[in-house]
Amino acid sequence: MKRVLLLIGSVALVAVSLSAADRITGKAFATRSEVIAPHAMAATSQPLATQVALDILKQGGSAVDAAIAANAMLGLVEPTGNGIGGDLFAIVWDAESRKLYGLNASGRSPYSLTLAWLQEQGLESIPSHGPLPVTVPGAVDGWFELHERFGKLPMKQVLAPAIRYAQEGFPVSELIAYYWQRSVPTLEVWAGFREVFMPGGRAPRKGEIFRNPALAKTLQQIAEGGRDVFYKGDVALAIDAFMKREGGFLSYRDLAEHTSEWVEPVSTDYRGYEVWELPPNGQGIAALQILNILESYDLSAMGFGSADYVHYFVEAKKLVFEDRARWYADPDFNDIPVQELISKEYAARRRRLIDPERAAESFEAGNPALQEGDTIYLTVADKDRNMVSLIQSNYRGMGTGLSPDGLGFILQDRGELFTLEEGQFNTYEPHKRPFHTIIPAFVTRNGEPYMSFGVMGGATQPQAHAQIVINMVDFGMNLQEAGDAPRILHQGSSQPTGEKMIDGGTVTLESGFPYATIRELVERGHSVGWDVGPYGGYQAILFDADQGVYYGASESRKDGQAAGF
């Protein structure tokens, strides 16, 4: 196996300890204290969005009202990660019914685009940008589905802050300015991008005021006319005309027939904590599969940062991602064995394939039939103890680059995640939902709400979901430390788009892992790289039922803020 060890000379490698004394003396991971509040909490990846959420809560809005308001705001202030041209998934804890609800608000492929046509063009995969990867934007319908069931305030009031900021402008934050500038060379060639997202012929810089009056108008139409404005009214007509002009396939019919789907969240018990995810077409159950495999190991005794922990984590991830490539897809087109994939029995069978002393170069997907042997994330909690875990994205940051005339947003490129290889679960078909990377998560204890969390970042997400849970349960970290702790990222597994794992992939570790760990991983056959990520973006809210307070945590790698009252 090829062994790669890339080290940055200026980075100091430090040992890791999690004792109480270390926390007191400042040696723990947390970049800041947890936020604690008695009534309500919001955690988003941008402070202005967090403040909008709190404003809605103070006006009497529900957690869902505040989440929608924050999501609309993030589509404006963080267009590098989301917007109403993308999709949405959510898990909601409803205090009245004492139940979790799941919403899959992902869009489908165009009726008029066929696999045969794509193959006739000589394509081996769907392009990442332009008209071909466009699928129906599901986010707006997701807002209205959530609002109808759990909202309190009128949508005019919920969307008012984002509309006002779009009209008046907001100062672009440093991180968003950086990603925006990086997107320009790729996206400026696509219709509508320069007109909306390059005022003065370039991306806005840190601190500059950016206005998006076209988006303000679109949001105002949605606020006044409801979801049908977007899917059957003026917005739908504008998208249809734009796509026809640009040689695309998404049509008025695709938009008019779009529906979201309420789904049952699925869970596994990890050492007394019930960890919840949504079933495919998303990748959430990968986190549950990883946790199931690792549950039989004494991770606490191994210690955070140890070679044993990293080795077992990476090997479990490799196993699970082979299943992810094989089985995760649109359940309307496939019989996906979800319960079998997340069962303890299946995990025990797969676990036996892990060599404790050697990294595997390849694994095959398992057969879960037991009888046979990639974004923004936000979470909000309100005074009534309702909690919402919501994730929303355009994919590839700003999406396709196509911005329909006068609408102020970019269409997503989720269709890129289909495979053009025939006979696979995720093979392209008309009116089909592609494999999805974005996943919200939730944790309960003894049937009571405990934690709403998520980590944005493509294939990083299920790996990071599992690590957050392990950091808290096995290594005793608090809510903020669990997100700030250095992350393990394995890249190069087989993909739902058809790529295969080669030579075991690559392990990349954030600064904070001891050199002795890296050296031992290489000796076990791991290819270890020193990389900048993507390590994801974390937000979380924990409910302390004994004290009746919320704890909030926000990602130190982004502009995020957790705040409450």
Cis amide linkage into residue 38, ω under 30° from 0: no
How far, in Å, are 323, 332, 367, 426, 495 from residue 327 at the CA level?
Answer: 6, 13, 10, 8, 11
Cβ partners under 8 Å of residue 97, min gap 6: none
- β-strand pairing of 528-529 with 537-544: unpaired
Cβ pair 468, 455 in contact under 8 A: yes
Helices and strands per DSSP (H, E), number in the chain: 20, 19
Q: Which residues are catalytic?
A: 375
Radius of gyration of the chain (CA): 22
Measure CA 513 to chain center.
25
Count of Cβ atoms closer than 10 Å to residue 332 Cβ: 12
Tokens describing residue 483: 């997100």
- Locus of tokens 């789907």: 261
Q: Which of 118, 132, 109 is nearest to 190 (CA)?
A: 132
Give the Cα separation of 463 and 485 in Å (integer).
14
DSSP string, 476-529: ---HHHHHHS--EEEE----TTS----TT-EEEE-TTS-HHHHHHHHHTT--EE
Q: Which of 113, 56, 180, 83 is nearest to 394 (CA)?
A: 83
Q: Which of 318, 359, 288, 283 is nearest to 489 (CA)?
A: 318
Give the Cα separation of 511 and 528 in Å (integer).
13
Q: Let me know if 384 is exposed, middle or buried by CB neighbors in 10 A (0-12, 13-18, 19+).
A: middle
Give the Cα separation of 237 and 458 in Å (integer).
31
Give the Cα separation of 44 and 378 in Å (integer).
5
Q: Let me know if 192 is exposed, middle or buried by CB neighbors in 10 A (0-12, 13-18, 19+).
A: buried
- Locus of tokens 């204890």: 445
DSSP 416: G
- β-strand pairing of 528-529 with 506-509: parallel
Cβ pair 82, 75 in contact under 8 A: yes
Which residues are bridge partners to 87 per DSSP?
A: 393
Tokens describing residue 392: 């929303």
Cβ partners under 8 Å of residue 120, min gap 6: none
- Locus of tokens 């400042």: 26
Give the Cα separation of 537 and 454 in Å (integer).
8
**Phi/psi of residue 185, nearest 5 degrees:** -60, -30
